[in-house]
Structure 1
């Protein structure tokens, strides 16, 4: 009995003395910035685009790691938030900071006049505040390049979908080829466009042979099609 008691006491002393099993090593925290990001992403009301990036501004004096955050509140418009951090030592600290969600956005390098076919050289990539992004803004190059500006595009400003369109392939006053389709029969006639049009647009044209005004669909560069019922 005495031998077993001495053995148990020795084992207990070894456990208490082992630095690998110290209480301070068992309790681990997470970086405060990670805890803030988790709070921002945890609510369905805080929609963050898939390509969005969270940029944080934290005050000085915060512990590098903490166990958790409590009483987290966030204003999406200003990006300001407040929370109470629970440190690994059990101490609490209330702090404020700012979190901004930015998204990659292509913006004009310069003022672009209306009627310009847009190329890669006209734009540069920036990261803009997602909350301040206007509704209907187009951000990705595949939605912009090759299009045509319908109105003036301002330097470093987001591009609205209504400000660009498919490039015009038919121009008012220019000669066009009118294709008349009737069943399996296609006929062509010379004409003149009375309106500008992009591929797929319906425009008015005049048949130069009959002088009849027709509504036709733009199908290519200088080519429109009239479907005969």
Structure 2
């Protein structure tokens, strides 16, 4: 075992260090330093100062400030000489934005959106970051074209709308009765709402079932 360890030590000293792209070395170091601070799906865009080497063997030191979008790195170049590289760094993220303005009440589909790059630092806590968080939802407030979608502007699709005629269902064991009714407020599927029975004129609480039906809440 001792002979094997000495052999590995000898090989590591005799083999030259492998050069890597400068951008890759710096990006890896920044991502490591910012772990947990960048939104999932973020990427870095680097702009190296003119005259910067394309490759380096090792990153010795790095200072960066994403708010100022600046970095300075001390590296060992491919020729073994230490060199300082400066430049700009931007944390970016691709977000879905509407292709056109979408009015309240519109149902969202994946084909209504495209992805555009935005600074990750400007990403609010309520920004929708993927199509899964959009598809099937209903617009609650106007969505401007090309703007990041906020979750407060969306709602689950309405199963009943205020003023809409619906079928009111009453169940008691095997017994099931129905009557025409009018929804007195909006509700998504599974939500409770006030409903007026058009036969009796009474207002009752019901659960929206979808497909123009609601069940008396018991």
Q: Does TM, normalized by the shorter one, top 0.5?
A: yes
- Aligned counterparts of 2:172 and 2:69: Cα–Cα separation in 1: 61
Deviation at 1:49, TM superposition (A): 4.5
Helix, strand or coil: the match of 1:110? coil
Determine the structure 2 residue equivalent to 1:123.
Answer: 113
Determine the structure 2 residue equivalent to 1:67.
Answer: 57
Does residue 188 (structure 1) correspond to residue 178 (structure 2)? The answer is yes
Does residue 102 (structure 1) correspond to residue 95 (structure 2)? The answer is no
Contact 1:40 1:46 in 2 (8 A): no
Q: Which has the larger radius of gyration?
A: 1
Determine the structure 2 residue equivalent to 1:86.
Answer: 76
- Aligned counterparts of 1:89 and 1:208: Cα–Cα separation in 2: 87
- Aligned counterparts of 1:81 and 1:90: Cα–Cα separation in 2: 22
- Aligned counterparts of 2:78 and 2:119: Cα–Cα separation in 1: 33
Map 1:202-213 to 2 at 5 A: 202-213=192-203
After superposition, the Cα gap between the structure-2 partners of 1:215 and 1:122, relative to the gap in structure 1 and judged at 3 Å, is: same
Deviations 1:41-68 (A, max 9, x none): 2225454455333222111211122122
**Which shows bigger deviation, 160-169 or 76-85?**
76-85
Contact 2:182 2:195 in 1 (8 A): yes
Any unmatched runs of 5+ in structure 2? 1-12
Contact 2:72 2:85 in 1 (8 A): yes
The equivalent position to 1:224 in structure 2, one of 202, 214, 217, is 214
Helix, strand or coil: the match of 2:122? coil
Contact 1:189 1:209 in 2 (8 A): yes
Runs of 4+ in 1 over 6 A off after TM superposition: none
TM-score (norm 2): 0.83
Q: CA RMSD in A?
A: 2.4
